[in-house]
Amino acid sequence: MERDADPHPRARPRDARRRRRAAGSGRRARWLRAPLLARPCRTHLRGVQRDPAQHHRRALARPAEGALVDFEFDEDQVAFGAAVRRFLDAKLPPSRLRTIWDEGQGYRHEVWRELAGLGVAGSLVDEAHGGSGGRLTDLVLVLGELGTHAVPEPAVETAVVAPLVLSGFGAPALQQEWLPQIAAGDTIVAVAARPEGARVPDGATADVTLVRSGHEVHLVRPQRVTARPLAGADPSRRLAECDYRLDDSTLVTVDPAASLLIDTAGAAGTAALLVGLCDRLVDLTREHLLTRQQFGRPLAEFQVLKHRLVDVAVAVEAARSLTWNAGYRVGVGDPGAAMAARAAKAAASEAASRAGAAALQLHGGIGFTWEHDLHLWLQRAMSWERSFGIARELRAQMGAELLEAK
């Protein structure tokens, strides 16, 4: 009698079991075999513009597309920056900066007047008051050049914050009095963005001070200022502890938007200064690595040093993109300008700190000496990093604003 049922698997011939295992049908083989996707899915997530998930399906729900920012500067803006660079190369070499530091005199009106002659001071002043009526985008490259040359003049306070606040919120009589002087380079403006008694750069020497007190914004002449000079990290930017006598005669506006504009424009402008300063730190460090030799070859041939400098350059480029974005949004009055300015200033401050630390370490012992020019930019970075908010505070403000939006 013959059995019809299949024999037990172990009763089969060994060669049959081997063929079955080779085909991958065993329990162990099934456990080891990784599943393969039948087709790629969710490719729509890689697209920048709206795109259907598959050709035969509707597109998934997505947030509304925002306008893309064009980061290309036009020929006039590039030429403006190049003209300022040539002027500063001739007028403000490192030796001139050293003289300013040694004398402790801070900025000089004649240099600022020459920059005003190039159009720097009046770039954001309307044409009716002697300016060119531009936007902050027109000044971003110029501010970068001022940062590269560590210009001691309060460029952001005078050429950015004051014109925007006075043009947007000042009375016509106030505009007529001050905007032509700012555009001509005859007036240097300090900004006291902190409560009274805080340290104000150039607070004791400026021709006029823009003071924020809560939501109130005041324009204060030197006669109503009590200033006590203070020592700071940067001798070319003289700090002062200031008290202001404020009343209705000094009041510009009580609009909260003006108070916010001081922070927003100041942060965006200072970010541009810091990005330019970072470029100089990177250039100084690269030049040192190319010329300084150790073990019979240039330091630039050591891979670990190259990686350190490349990491800094990547951080600077990220800050540059955020800064250009902030300049554009402030210039067009975008609702997200305040957030963009905070992000740019925080990134630029952190990039400057990182660039300074790397430059100091990669220069070695010579970087610590007073005779080397590196400290001129290191100490200026310390000053600008604290202007219009430090990185930690700015990121906390951004986080709080995002949580409130939810």
Question: Could you tell me which residues come within 8 angstroms of residue 393 by beta carbon, excluding any fewer than 6 positions away?
Answer: none
* pLDDT of res. 141: 96
Beta bridge partners of 217: 212, 253
Question: Could you tell me which residues come within 8 angstroms of residue 331 by beta carbon, excluding any fewer than 6 positions away?
Answer: 135, 136, 137, 138
* pLDDT of res. 291: 87
- Determine the Cα–Cα distance for residues 123 and 140; give it in Å rounded to an integer: 11
**pLDDT tier at 262 (50, 70, 90 boundaries)?**
very high
* pLDDT of res. 254: 94
* pLDDT of res. 233: 75
* pLDDT of res. 82: 96
pLDDT of residue 346 exceeding 70: yes
pLDDT of residue 1 exceeding 60: no
Helices (H), 191-253: none
Range of lowest pLDDT (24-33, 197-206, 291-300): 24-33
**pLDDT tier at 211 (50, 70, 90 boundaries)?**
very high
pTM, 2 dp? 0.82
What average pLDDT is seen over the chain? Answer: 84
Question: Could you tell me which residues come within 8 angstroms of residue 145 by beta carbon, excluding any fewer than 6 positions away?
Answer: 81, 84, 85, 88, 276
Instruction: Using alpha carbons, select from 350, 288, 268, 346 the residue that is nearest to residue 315.
Output: 350
Domains defined for the chain, CATH in brackets: 258-405 (1.20.140.10)
- What mean pLDDT do residues 224-234 have? 84
Give yes or no for a contact between 387 and 365, defined as CB atoms under 8 angstroms apart.
no
Residue 61 Cα distances to 20, 41, 42, 52, 54, angstroms: 48, 16, 13, 10, 14
- Determine the Cα–Cα distance for residues 268 and 342; give it in Å rounded to an integer: 7
Q: Long-range CB contacts (< 8 A, 24+ apart) of 335-341?
A: 337/264, 337/268, 338/260, 338/263, 338/264, 339/398, 339/401, 340/268, 341/263, 341/264, 341/265, 341/267, 341/268, 341/271
Instruction: Write the pLDDT tens digit of every residue in 36-95.
Output: 444 555 544 555 555 555 555 665 565 555 555 556 899 999 999 999 999 999 988 888
- Determine the Cα–Cα distance for residues 309 and 281; give it in Å rounded to an integer: 10
Q: How are beta strands 208-213 and 216-220 bridged, if at all?
A: antiparallel
* pLDDT of res. 37: 47
DSSP letters for 311-358: HHHHHHHHHHHHHHHHHHHHHHT-TTHHHHHHHHHHHHHHHHHHHHHH
Instruction: Write the pLDDT tens digit of every residue in 114-153.
Output: 999 999 999 999 999 999 999 999 999 999 999 999 998 8
- What mean pLDDT do residues 236-246 have? 87
Instruction: Write the pLDDT tens digit of every residue in 324-335.
Output: 999 999 999 999
Give yes or no for a contact between 325 and 140, defined as CB atoms under 8 angstroms apart.
no
Query: How far is C-alpha 26 from the chain's CA centre?
Result: 61
